[in-house]
Amino acid sequence: MSQKLHDNERIKIESNFLRGKLVEGINDNTTGAFPSDEVQLVKFHGLYQQDNRDRRAERKQQKLEPLYSFLLRARLPGGVVTPQQWLEIDRVAEELTDAGSIRLTTRQTFQYHGIFKRNLKSVFQELKFKANIDSIFTAGDVNRNTICTSNPEQSVLHTEVYELSKKISEHFLPKSNAYAEIWLDGEKVLDTEEEPIYHNIFLPRKFKIAVALPPYNDVDIHANDLNFIAIIEDEKITGYNVVVGAGLGMTHGDKTTFPRLGDDFGFIPTDKVIEVAEAVVTTQRDLGGRVSRSHARTKYTLETHGIETFKQEVEKRSGVTFAAPGAYEFTERGDRIGWVKGIDNKWHLTVFIENGRILDFDGKPLKSGLVKIAKVHQGTFRMTANQNLVIASVPESEKDNIEKLARECGLIDDGTSAQRLDSMACVSLPTCPLAMAEAERYLPGLTDDVEGLLAKHGIAKDHIILRITGCPNGCGRAMLAEIGLVGKAPGRYNLHLGGNKIGTRLPKMYAENIDEATIVSTLDELIGRWANERNQNEDFGDFVIRAGIIAEVVIAARDFYA
């Protein structure tokens, strides 16, 4: 007897290519929310229904429904926008969102928080008609925003991978006119529609694609279902290695779920990328699990059907035979903060934005400062996959002025430590409905604590990849950190240790369900040992494995819980 499919599968099939009853939901002024089926459907349009959890008790006492609002995530393959687009992005945040902020994300784009339902159509239309930006397929069971290396030094190669990321993104956009009909007041389609890639069932679960340009692993390849790693010879990209089946999410208490590194299927020439990408996506569409959402990502399809079976199916569908993997090496990840000069003789300034939150803080008016920069900047802005921003292609004649403006608003702060630059968190509370513990609001204080511990043990200039995610879904990429915290309950976290600096090894749980004070005392002991017992130039993640503090995760399905 076949198992019953998850109810999300019914919702997709019955939705008339993602229309459902969204129009009726928009027009229902008796509630700030959508009906339950449509809560799932709006994700395909780039929205998440949320409520302010800080105000739940107050609203309940007042006999009011939760303060519902929406997160909108933009589609920006490669994360590049013009100054004119930035000004519109800022204006929409200011005029049409309750939060008033722009939040840079680990998917190399931006998102808004606190959009009330009555403002949704205005946000969609202002973004599309004034900035030519949409949010199609930035969430839901589809290919989401395609990301790529944002390193500005290799300008010519960056342009190539950026153009490829746009091409991939556009290839996997829907054929359905639902988005335009619902949000942009577009003309209704009367003919029968088809989705040649997704059909009417779409994918079993979300799907993420990245294009990486070694030696930088700034896109964290092992956080994505499908990765194309550029193989470079004589300063030219000759093709790509294809890495499939990575992903970081898991479920607390369910040891059949786990983070997983991807498998390198081999090398393909550049002109075969789209064919192979479609073959991987459609193989996952047809072989992926649709019974349990917790087991529906590509990584579990490889575990269930076998790597070779999946690979052979991709070769069959694409007509491409994988060659032996090309040689490459990752030497670093994260972003190079500060000025660098590209090979095009233009300057690029990467600025650190803690938690990716762009807002005017006391003494640090980031949001209005970026508006001033956008009004004079002649190049582009590049969002990174690490929640930072590159003010790109600055001519020599404008460099001093851009630096002056950036310093005035706090975008350049010489006092920011290397540890803070290597720390990252997801949004979590108060808006994320899945959050179990704080992340974004906890990170600054925890970073202060870790900075203090490094100084206490005489290694203040050293740094550790530190990441926090408020639930086990993995948005903050804690499962690729040297120290990864995963929210378990308010004020309590699972502590994972043993990832490496370049993001090619998973950490393993060292302590479960510990409070914030215990986290600091535990790290105090471990950092002290690292300072006193490490080999020369030995990173923290490597040390805790060599010293036997934590076992290395080699094969996730076997080792992660062992």
Residues forming the active site:
73, 144, 206, 208, 426, 432, 471, 475
Listed residue (292, 296, 391) closest to 349, CA to CA: 391
Q: What's the rounded Cα separation, in Å, for the pair 322 and 83?
A: 41
SS3 148: strand
> Does residue 249 contact residue 474 with C-beta atoms inside 8 Å?
yes
Q: What's the rounded Cα separation, in Å, for the pair 296 and 287?
A: 10
Q: What's the rounded Cα separation, in Å, for the pair 380 and 394?
A: 8
> Does residue 32 contact residue 65 with C-beta atoms inside 8 Å?
yes
Q: What's the rounded Cα separation, in Å, for the pair 14 and 327?
A: 47
Give me the DSSP letters along 90-144: HHHHHHH-SS--EEE-TTSSEEEEEE-GGGHHHHHHHHHHHH--B-TTSSSSSB-
Q: What's the rounded Cα separation, in Å, for the pair 14 and 248?
A: 30
- Identity at 89, one-letter amino acid code: I
H-run or E-run covering 195:
none
HSE at residue 301, side-chain half, CA atoms within 13 A, is 31
> Does residue 420 contact residue 369 with C-beta atoms inside 8 Å?
no
Helix (H), strand (E), coil (C) string for 153-179: CCHHHHHHHHHHHHHHHHHCCCCCCHH
- Identity at 108, one-letter amino acid code: Q
Own/partner long-range contacts of 123-126 (Cβ < 8 Å, ≥24 apart) = 123/72, 123/92, 123/96, 123/97, 124/72, 124/183, 124/184, 125/183, 125/184, 125/185, 126/88, 126/91, 126/92, 126/96
Find residue 382's DSSP bridge partners: 80, 390
- Identity at 242, one-letter amino acid code: V
In this structure, what token pair is assigned to residue 515?
Answer: 């409070």
Sign of CA dihedral 382, 212, 447, 73: positive
Residue 9, phi then psi, degrees to nearest 5: -65, -40
100 Rama class: left (phi>0) / alpha (psi -120 to 50) / beta: left
- Identity at 40, one-letter amino acid code: Q
Residue 111, C-beta contacts closer than 8 angstroms, at least 6 positions apart: 71, 72, 73, 74, 103, 105
Find residue 213's DSSP bridge partners: 216
